[in-house]
Amino acid sequence: MRGKGRALLKIVFAALLIGAAAVASLLIKETLDSTDPENTMPLIEASVGYAKLNVIRADFEWNYITRTVRGPALSDEAGDVPLAPLDVTPNTQLVIVMSDPNYLSMKVSRADGLSDTNYIELYGDEILTPTVPGIYKYKIEVSYKKGSLLYYTAVRVPGSPAVLLE
């Protein structure tokens, strides 16, 4: 009986050590991830037709087990977001793809011009570029269980080419 009790004690002790190692590795991973959150958050890709847009992450709040990390908080109103609009064709679908598709919500809004901060929320499954020539700024807000992300991108819808008649 004494041998069985000792074997059971060794098994329980081994299970406790394995559990402690698992908790320690989880805490180490969370600490490393929270010190460099840019490498652990989902990535975004936005495109119009074959043109891949320049998307800027302006802000984020990401919750880890040990702490919450907040991003650089670039302000669109203060002009902190360095946008480089790309020429796109009018009335073409804007496609937004997240590397982690398990987001809770995604909200896309658009403003006219680079200096305008009055955004209009766009609804529906298909978001099309405007037909009127000009520069348009998009704000993309994505929510996950672990936090939220804020992105900006811009497009330019060129006017029709002028025909010179003499």
Cα–Cα dist 156/112, whole Å: 10
**What is the three-state SS of 97-154?**
EECCCCCCEEEEEEEECCCCCCCEEECCCCEECCCCCEEEEEEEEEEECCEEEEEEEE
Helix (H, G, I), strand (E, B), or coil: what is residue 165? coil
Residues 55 and 129 in one domain: yes
End-to-end CA distance of the chain: 110
- Tell whether 8 and 86 lie within a shared domain: no
- Is residue 166 included in any domain, yes or no? no
Q: Which domain holds residue 98?
A: 42-157
Please tell me the predicted confidence (pLDDT) of residue 162. Answer: 46
Q: Residue 90 gets which letter from DSSP?
A: T
Domain count, the chain: 2
**29 and 46 assigned to the same domain:** no
Assess contact for 60 and 43: CB atoms under 8 A. no
Q: Determine the pLDDT at residue 160.
A: 66
Distances in Å between the Cα of 154 and the Cα atoms of 52, 109, 117, 129, 161 are 11, 11, 13, 11, 21
- pTM score, two decimals? 0.78
What are 132's two structure tokens? 């009127």
Q: Give yes or no for residue 34 having a pLDDT over 90.
A: no
What was the pLDDT predicted at 114? 84
Tens digits of residue pLDDT in 106-117: 999 999 988 888
SS3 category, 79: coil
Residues 83, 135, single domain; the answer is yes
- pLDDT confidence tier of residue 154, bands split at 50, 70 and 90: very high
- Report yes or no on 165 lying in a domain: no
99 and 118 together in one domain: yes
User: Is position 89 within any domain?
Assistant: yes
- Check which CATH number belongs to the domain holding 137 and give it: 2.60.40
